[in-house]
Structure 1
Amino acid sequence: MNSKVSARQKIRYRIRKKISGSAQKPRLSVFRSNRDIYVQLIDDANGVTLAAASSKQADIAAQKVNKVEKSKLVGSAIAKKSEELGIKDVVFDRSGYIYHGRIKAVAEGAREGGLQF
């Protein structure tokens, strides 16, 4: 396995030992591929995804902006969905990625949308 991928996987396991989400305070999990970014609100107690958003959604994909700006739009989209569910507090799970660039943009977009970490 690629050493970069395996190093991220180790970090991810270490993070997941410490944090978990509940129905009142779900985990905001981020996955970043080379092209797109995906976020989910996860209730780990029941093992269900409460809401999800990605840069593949029609309204976000249609915009001609760079990946960092799309990530910010994804963050605000998940904040809007969580507001509809009545969720204000979340636990941020960066999934082993460095808090920089697109991951930071998702967090900023979610915070501007009203989510509290």
Structure 2
Amino acid sequence: MKLNTNIRKRFRVSNKVKKVASKDRFRLSISRSSKNISAQIIDDTKNVTLLSASSVEKDLRSADKVNKTELSKLVAQKLAKKAQEKKITKIYFDRGSYKYHGRIKVFAETLRENGMEF
């Protein structure tokens, strides 16, 4: 089966992250569309999603009209808060097929500001 460029890029980045992953860290996978952004923290040893946050959730959707960059900050703050409650501080950042630029970069920097290490 022939895969398109975006899928190959996503697999390449994710597989590199999984190869260096250790048991004390989890993987943060990020997904974005033209309007929304979502992220989840995954335990690859058990293949289980531990936490997730998305801009589609009711409490974030009801926020005043904000641009997409501000929405990324809000989702990152919510995910960091959930992770601190579960005592997760060290993660691997899996950006998927997206460049580390724009909303993805803002998301990562906000996580770092809120105590996440990657």
Give TM-score scaled by structure 1 length.
0.89
Task: Name structure 2 gaps, 5 residues minimum.
Answer: none
Q: Alignment partner for residue 10 of structure 1, among 8, 11, 15?
A: 8
Q: Which runs of 4+ in 1 moved over 6 A?
A: none
1:12-39 deviation digits (Å, cap 9, x = unpaired): 1111221125663110100011111010
- 1:27-66: CA deviation from partner (whole Å, max 9, x where unpaired): 0100011111010000011000000000012222122210
Matches within 5 A, 1:26-41: 26-41=26-41
Matched, 1:83 2:81: no
Contact 1:22 1:45 in 2 (8 A): no
Computed over aligned residues only, the root mean square deviation of the Cα atoms, in angstroms, reads: 1.6
**Runs of 5+ consecutive residues of structure 1 not aligned to the other structure:** none
* 1:110 paired to 2:108: no
- Offset of residue 93 of structure 1: 0.4
| Aligned twin of 2:17 | 19
Q: TM-score under structure 2 normalisation?
A: 0.88
User: Which residue is equivalent to 1:61?
Assistant: 61
Kindly tell me the number of residue pairs found equivalent between the two proteins.
113
Aligned counterparts of 1:108 and 1:7: Cα–Cα separation in 2? 27
CA displacement at 1:6 relative to structure 2: 2.5
